Amino acid sequence: MSPMSPLVFGITLVLCITMIGAALMAIRAKRLPVAILAAGLVSLVASILFLVLAAPDVAMTEAAIGSGLTTFLFFFVLARIRGAGHGGANIDADNEADNKADSHD
């Protein structure tokens, strides 16, 4: 195993800090869109870390599936179920003023 150059080590360190912050945020976020975005960010950093580990094919898959498709799919589903349930009040806490203008569901 070849020793890591200090520059690559620094990049890895920053990426790991970013990844841990995003992962904590994905768990603790109160609003669903924010949690989905944070999960996408974890995926993005994970794919760059795969590149650091010299695995470009895995990184490309992670980019297309993890960061792309999963995030889109979550948002599509979120838009589908919006307004359908009674308990999902927190989904749209961001646009509360807008919600009040519309009728409540």
Is 11 in contact with 17 (CB distance < 8 Å)?
Answer: no
d(CA 36, CA 74): 7
Q: Which of 27, 64, 81, 89 binds another protein (CB under 8 A)?
A: 64
DSSP sequence for 84-102: T-SSGGGGGGGGHHHHHHS
Q: Which residues bind another protein (CB under 8 A)?
A: 5, 7-8, 10-11, 14-15, 17-18, 21-22, 25, 31, 33-34, 37-38, 40-41, 44-45, 47-48, 51-52, 54, 56, 59-60, 63-64, 67-68, 71-72, 75-76, 78-79, 82, 94-95, 97-98
